A and B are shown apart, each in its own frame.
Chain A
């Protein structure tokens, strides 16, 4: 039973355009959501997060949107750059679970020059 789902295994966009990565979750008790980025042969690295009390968080080219009623979040990257090519994981947690994260399956983003 997957509590966090990323239904698109891959996404390809042109350099300079917007990349939109999507994530759905099933458990309404989740109160903290994160995006991680992973390059081959490396561990995931933290990118951006959002608390359930917000609906948007922005950090430079990266913006995360949260729609609690739809149990959906998305990561927008604009403008996309070739160096953004990586696997992106969505993760969710309960704050009182000591940081335990539940991950989606990941979406492989390819940004073409």
Chain B
């Protein structure tokens, strides 16, 4: 079991650029979650999908953020345009039904 795979591990970009974070959930898991960790707000849920369908995106901070899950094995989180306050570690997690979430190792995003 390869676990949840996120790419890239680190991303440094300039303000105004588009950023795309990628996630491959554990095979067979039917729920996928995007979390963001910052010093100020801790781990906060941005959006989650069940069976590839977005269920709750109330945590998405602004219209600059969007997430897609085109199939059961891939999801993206896009920020366009990026801003310095978007700098954080972004985690993807997956789960099967009501089992505990399995997290990837995160993408550390720095927007200068």
Contact = CB atoms under 8 A, between A and B. Distances in A.
Contacts, number: 54
A95 to B, nearest CB: 6
B43 A103 contact: yes
Interface string B38-63: 00001111001010000110000000
Interface in B11-34: 31, 33
Given A89-B43, A101-B45, A43 B93 contact: yes
A31 B63 CA distance: 32
Contacts of A104: 42
Contact of B45 (A43, A49, A100, A106): A100
Contacts of A67: none
B105 A41 contact: yes
A102 B58 CA distance: 13
A46 B101 CA distance: 7
Interface size of B as a range: 20 to 34
A41 B101 CA distance: 18
A28 to B, nearest CB: 20
Interface string B60-85: 00000000000000000000000000
A85 interface: no
B4 A43 contact: yes
Interface of B: 4, 31, 33, 35, 42-45, 48, 50, 55-56, 91, 93, 95, 97-106
